[in-house]
Chains A and B, each alone.
Chain A
Amino acid sequence: MSSHRFAVLALISISLASSLWLLLDVITAYTYSRETYAFGVPNFESRFEALHKSMPPRSVLGYVSDNPGNNTQSQAEFYLTQYALAPAIVKATTEEHFVVANFHNNAPNANMLRAKNLVLVQDFGNGVFIYHNTTR
């Protein structure tokens, strides 16, 4: 009988302690996210909102960024751009007629843009631009 009681109390105590312990972590993470700049979906949603509203329902866009290629952050930002601009299709290439730019400042690298044959069409602010590829 006492062994059964010990088993049950141990199981329940560990369950509740685990739950309450992580609850503190989750609340702390929430507080931190409110107090600091948080990279993530809401940030991309607000940055790309103006562009999204100005687009026709069906469009295919190229993509350019000032991120270093092939790291997780670059990949995440490309996916977030696609998520924010759906149902437009965003392709990870500049070989499209229109190219959406996701930059981290409002002074993009002119040499890089020239090398990729990109000419500015519109600046939507917050590092979001639309370029035209002159070769397409």
Chain B
Amino acid sequence: MTLLYLALAWLLGSGLVRWLFPAPLRFTLQNALVFSLGAGVGVGVASSLFFLTLALVGPKIVVLAAVQGVALAAALVLGILVARHGKSIEWAPGPPTPWYFTAALGVAVASAVTMFIFCTLTKPHGEWDAWAIWNMRARFLFRGGEFWRDAFSNQLDWSHPDYPLLLPGIVAMCWTLARAESTVASTGVAFLFTFGAAGVLISTLGILRGKMQALIAGTLLLGGVSLIVNGANQYADVPLSYFILATLGLLCLQDRYPHDLRFSILAGLTAGFAAWTKNEGMFFLVAMLAARAWAITRYGNRAALAPQFLRLAAGLAAPLAVIAFFKLRFAPPNDLLTRQPHQIVAHLADISRWITVIQEYVVEPFRIGEYLVPVILVLGVYWYLVRFKVEQQDRPGIATILIAGGLMLAAEFAIYVALPGDPSWQTKTSFDRLLMQLWPSALLAFFMAVNTPQLQAKSKAEEKGKAVEKGKAAKRAVKPSAK
């Protein structure tokens, strides 16, 4: 039953996304994007509704079931009955894709799913942060009954009770409706986000750059061990990386379809859910807005800035309202913000803290993804051989990704240096996961910028045609001198 309620949340999200991007119900690239985005949107909406119901009427299962049921029915009606509008989304044109790309992606998916299952069997409650923060909070919300607010008690300050509730909310919602506690809920959520991220990357790149780029990027993402293992360990960094990728991917699609502002609305919603997932999501939200404003002003059409930001704000409004309600009414102050200014100044003046953090910022990117070979070197060689070719229309999107990622890294750098704790321990235990939050989006930017590989020799007819053209041109060039 627990999985059923999670599947219904996914259906809710897919209905809402399909309402924005209707397409015939068959296997298409557009539907792959719709269902990949539907996973995150559904979880975000369902967990927000769970929290609001709990906050406004208390732990009443009948009310909760009615609220979720009405939301699901409305999403399905909107998603099924909506008339098709706007341009349909197809694969970008490109050279024929050899069969072995599809086979490689199939092997990567099979290996990743198997790895996920074995990691889950080994640690069904997830790794440290998963049980000590996210699943423990879900237990308080579910088991606590009328005392569910104890989840945010100051006596649990070591478990960061101010952290937002997307993950505890969806897990507790599944348990409440199923009337039983099971690790299947948190595992299912982790599975949706881990493989949903791959779905978003592949479908977005398929639309923007074609099938071959999409399959290569998908194989590379799923081949990386850290996404799968951290996903199976139920770390919140994987859902956050999903929402970051979804937001930035939707903004890239916005640039490709500049008159269709539905992409910006949905990007606003997914950015809001990033902030509902982890406090770093709030950083991302600010960084994304700043990066987007700069990128459109620098590379895009400045007249598009106001309409796009209005749509982003429309999408953001609901999740931000839920976050504000939670932070102002229930969450205790963030432990990082309760430090005295003189402590921050002392840390900033300590050069050894800077050196420690810089060292980690230099070394850790070589371990990103935990591939057998440092993947940034492999991507460097790939770039050297295949080269970049950035189309004008893709520049604002790529710039948004790079600047937003850069701002997030800079903000985290400042936190490592200025705020409390041993920076060596903090960077060693968290910086790899911070990079993983940005890794799928970095792959999106890379494969948007890099040329599509030319794998096949040009056909004989093409070669012959070119030779004839060259011959004619040569004759035309020779004739005047013969006179």
Residues of A within 8 A of B (CB): 1, 3-8, 10-12, 14-23, 26-27, 29-30, 33, 40-42, 45, 57-58, 60, 76, 79-80, 82-83, 86-87, 89, 91
A57, B149: Cα distance in complex, Å:
13
A10-B67 Cα distance, complex, nearest whole Å: 51
Contact assessment for A15 and B386 in the assembled complex, using a CB-CB cutoff below 8 Å: no
B107 near A16: Cβ-Cβ < 8 Å: yes
- Known contacts A23-B111, A27-B118, A30-B122; A15/B147 CB under 8 A: no
Binds A, one of B200-208, B273-281, B283-291, B449-457: B449-457
Task: Please name all residues of chain A whose beta carbon is closer than 8 Å to the beta carbon of B369 when the two chains form the complex.
Answer: 18
Quick one: which of B111, B132, B159 contacts A20, CB cutoff 8 A?
Answer: B111
**How far in angstroms is the closest Cβ of chain B from A75?**
9
CB within 8 Å for A1 and B454 given contacts A7-B382, A18-B224, A42-B124: yes
- B300 at the binding interface (Cβ < 8 Å): no
Asked whether A16 and B453 contact (CB < 8 A) given A23-B111, A86-B140, the answer is no
Query: Of residues 92 to 147 in B, which have CB atoms within 8 Å of A's CB atoms?
Result: 101, 104, 107-108, 111-112, 114-115, 118-119, 121-125, 128, 131-132, 135-136, 139-140, 143-145, 147
The docked-state distance in angstroms from the alpha carbon of A21 to that of B381 is: 22
Stretch at the interface among B28-36, B310-318, B341-349, B370-378: B370-378
B114 neighbours in A (Cβ, 8 Å): 23
A26-B143 Cα distance, complex, nearest whole Å: 33
User: B360 in the interface, Cβ–Cβ < 8 Å?
Assistant: no
Secondary structure of the B side of the interface? helix
Are A15 and B455 neighbours in the complex by a CB distance under 8 Å?
A: no
Q: A1-B456, A4-B454, A23-B114 are in contact. Are A14 and B378 (CB under 8 A)?
A: yes
B385 within 8 A of A: yes
A89:B456 contact, CB within 8 angstroms: no
Q: Mark B331-371, 1 if CB is under 8 A from A, else 0.
A: 00000000000000000000000000000000000000111
- B216 and A11 contact, CB distance less than 8 A: yes
State the 9 A-B residue pairs at the shortest beta-carbon distance, nearest first: A15-B223, A4-B453, A87-B144, A7-B385, A41-B125, A86-B139, A18-B371, A19-B111, A22-B225
Instruction: For B147, give its contact among A22, A30, A57 (CB under 8 Å).
Output: A57
Chain B window 228-262, contacts with chain A (Cβ cutoff 8 Å), 1 for yes, 0 for no:
11000000000000000000000000000000000
Q: Which residue of A lies closest to B140 (CB)?
A: A87
B139-A83 in contact (CB<8A): yes
- On chain B, the number of residues with a Cβ less than 8 Å from chain A's Cβ atoms is 60
- Known A-B contacts A16-B107, A19-B108; the reply to A6 vs B385 at CB < 8 A is yes
Which residues of B are found within 8 Å of A79, using beta-carbon distances?
Answer: 128, 131-132, 158-159
Query: How far apart are the CA atoms of A89 and B152 in the complex, in Å?
Result: 11
Interchain CB contact under 8 A, A15 and B219:
yes
Q: Which chain A residues border B147 with CB–CB below 8 Å?
A: 57-58, 87
Contact across chains for B118 and A14 when beta carbons are under 8 A apart: no
Q: Decide if A16 touches B455 in the complex (CB within 8 Å).
A: no
Q: Which of B111, B121, B124, B143 contacts A16, CB < 8 Å?
A: B111
Q: Which B residues, 40 to 98, have Cβ-Cβ distances below 8 Å to chain A?
A: none
| A18/B144 contact (C-beta < 8 A), A1-B454, A10-B382, A89-B153 known | no
For A1, A79, A82, A86, the residue with the greatest tally of chain B CB atoms inside 10 Å of its CB is A86
Q: Identify the interface centre among B156, B224, B373, B385: most chain A CB within 10 Å of its CB.
A: B385
B483 to chain A, nearest CB (A): 41
Rounded to whole Å, the gap between the CB of B40 and the closest CB of chain A is 24
A18 to chain B, nearest CB (A): 4
Query: Which chain A positions have C-beta within 8 A of B153?
Result: 89
Q: Please give the distance in Å from A118's CB to the nearest CB on chain B.
A: 20
Given A26-B115, A26-B229, A58-B150: A18 in contact with B372 (beta carbons within 8 A): yes
Q: Taking CB as reference atom, which chain A residue is nearest B100?
A: A12
Residues of A within 8 Å of B453, CB to CB, are 4-5, 7-8
Question: How far apart are the CA atoms of A27 and B107 in the complex, in Å?
Answer: 17
The answer for the CA separation of A56 and B155 in the assembled complex, in Å, is 18
A7-B385, A42-B124 known; A19-B220 Cβ under 8 A: no
Residues of B within 8 A of A80 (CB): 131
Give the contacting residue for A4; candidates B370, B372, B385; CB below 8 A: B385
Contact at A41–B131, with CB atoms within 8 Å? yes
Q: CB-CB < 8 A to B159: which residues of A?
A: 79, 82
Q: How far is the CB of A57 from chain B (nearest CB, A)?
A: 5
**Shortest Cβ distance from residue B459 to the other chain A in the assembled complex, whole angstroms:** 13
